[in-house]
Amino acid sequence: MSSKEWEVVAIVDINQEILKKSVEKYPSLEGKTYTSLKDCLKKVKADALLNVTPPSFHKETSIIALKEGLHVLVEKPLSDTIKNAEKIVEQAEKYGRKIMVSQNYRYNRIPRTIRKIIEQGEIGKISWCILNFQKGPRFGGFRAEMPFPLLIDMSIHHFDLSRYLLGTDPVSVYAESWKPHWSWLKGDPCVFLIFDFEKDIHFNYSGSWVSVGKDTQWPGIWEIYGDKGTVIWDNQGIKKVVEGKEENIEPITLEREDRYLSLYEFYRSIIEDREPETSGKDNLKSLKMVFKSLESIKKGRKVNL
Ligand SMILES: NC(=O)c1ccc[n+]([C@@H]2O[C@H](COP(=O)([O-])OP(=O)(O)OC[C@H]3O[C@@H](n4cnc5c(N)ncnc54)[C@H](O)[C@@H]3O)[C@@H](O)[C@H]2O)c1
């Protein structure tokens, strides 16, 4: 991936094999590889760290970089626990650096278009929203061992999207999880969740990571219901239904999309010295949707966020 604003000055991985393969794929990385972030930062002058380590390493690695004066763009989820995520945000504030989470799903044409439709009141006041996510990827690695792989590693994309699309934040959740008898993952890969949001909005989430028949797109299939009509986002795109009239909606055009747009937002937030759209502080609200869902599953009752 190339960027007009950013240049790769070093790549760090504790695994030599991965570094070797990266150089084979991208020969321009020759001579820029390191096996320790601390050692790298002693030798290389950098403005920012793009942190793509697994979630349990996000706190340690992000704080090393923040202490050395780098801004950090970290992959979702911000961290593996709320406490660790709060620590990263606190350290970013202490060192006066930006911490942004790569919630790339919302940086796309379709969610940006739906947000606009809702903000302009085209489907009226929203009352409820339904999301269905079904996929069955055959993961190995850390995901295969996680206790709640969908909820911990994937649902954060949908939760962040829900806050973005609905333009408001959740206040409570009731959650259930289970493991179908054919599941190839160790933890519970299926969930039903009911969130209450501010402004009396209700969000119904059903997700599975071991679906063998029906597959949805990665962002899932969304239906948002207001007092004037409905917006549907499915594998075909956006549909708006008002007074029984169904209309296909052409998404707005964007100069940049997805990770290109989130990288650009990261850059702009530094240049303009402002909070990035998906700052660590903002992202704590999306991350709480994950951990409060877990709490609800364990307690077997609705919990406040
Ligand atoms: N936004 C998205 O759509 C998206 C997609 C895939 C993965 N992710 C996220 O990206 C992150 C990484 O996921 P992945 O699937 O690429 O994981 P991975 O295990 O394939 O790769 C992570 C790499 O980090 C290295 N590493 C571990 N600890 C390190 C440390 N302390 N210092 C340097 N390197 C270290 C590992 O050796 C490994 O090569 C996760 O947070 C994941 O949720 C996001």
Q: What is the pLDDT along the chain (305 residues), one digit of tens a residue?
A: 578 899 999 999 999 999 999 999 999 999 999 999 999 999 999 999 999 999 899 999 999 999 999 999 999 999 989 999 999 999 999 999 999 999 999 999 999 999 999 999 999 999 999 999 999 998 778 788 888 999 988 999 999 999 999 999 999 999 999 999 999 999 999 999 999 999 999 999 999 999 998 899 999 999 999 999 999 999 999 999 999 999 999 999 999 999 999 999 999 999 999 999 999 999 999 999 999 999 999 999 999 99
Q: Which among 286, 249, 271 is positioned nearest to 118, based on CA atoms?
A: 249
Q: CA angle, 280 as apex, 203 and 165 as ends, to 5°?
A: 30
Ligand 1 and 144: CB distance under 6 A? no
Partner residues linked to 30 by β-bridges: none
Ligand 1 and 153: CB distance under 6 A? yes
* Tokens of residue 70, six digits: 């780098």
Counting beta carbons within 10 angstroms of the beta carbon of residue 204, is it exposed (0 to 12), middle (13 to 18) or buried (19 or more)?
A: middle
What pLDDT does 144 receive? 81
* Tokens of residue 152, six digits: 């911990």
Ligand 1 and 57: CB distance under 6 A? yes
CA of 54 to the centre of ligand 1 (A): 4
Query: Measured between alpha carbons, how far is residue 120 from residues 116, 123, 198 in Å?
Result: 6, 8, 19
Q: Which among 278, 229, 233 is positioned nearest to 251, based on CA atoms?
A: 233
Nearest CA to ligand 1 atom 14: 54
What pLDDT does 226 receive? 98
Q: Which among 70, 105, 76, 118 is positioned nearest to 91, based on CA atoms?
A: 70
Ligand 1 and 180: CB distance under 6 A? no
Side chain identity at residue 234, one-letter code: D
Nearest CA to ligand 1 atom 3: 104
What pLDDT does 45 receive? 96
Q: How far apart are CA 230 and CA 241, in angstroms?
A: 5
Query: How many angstroms from the chain centroid is the CA of residue 105?
Result: 7
Q: Which among 205, 99, 106 is positioned nearest to 157, based on CA atoms?
A: 106
Q: How far apart are CA 244 and CA 118, in angstroms?
A: 18
Atom of ligand 1 nearest to the CA of 141: 19
CA of 218 to the centre of ligand 1 (A): 19
Model-level pTM? 0.93
Ligand 1 and 128: CB distance under 6 A? no
Side chain identity at residue 99, one-letter code: I
Q: How far apart are CA 143 and CA 149, in angstroms?
A: 6
Ligand 1, pocket-test mutation among 53, 73, 260, 261, most atoms within 8 A of CB? 53
* Domains of the chain from N-terminus onward: 11-104+258-279 (3.40.50.720), 105-245+287-304 (3.30.360.10)
Neighbouring CB atoms inside 10 A of 69's CB total 13
What pLDDT does 143 receive? 80
Atom of ligand 1 nearest to the CA of 259: 1
Ligand 1 and 61: CB distance under 6 A? yes
CA of 6 to the centre of ligand 1 (A): 20
Phi, psi of 119 (to 5 degrees): -60, -35
Atom of ligand 1 nearest to the CA of 153: 43
What pLDDT does 2 receive? 75
Q: How far apart are CA 276 and CA 291, in angstroms?
A: 23
What pLDDT does 205 receive? 98
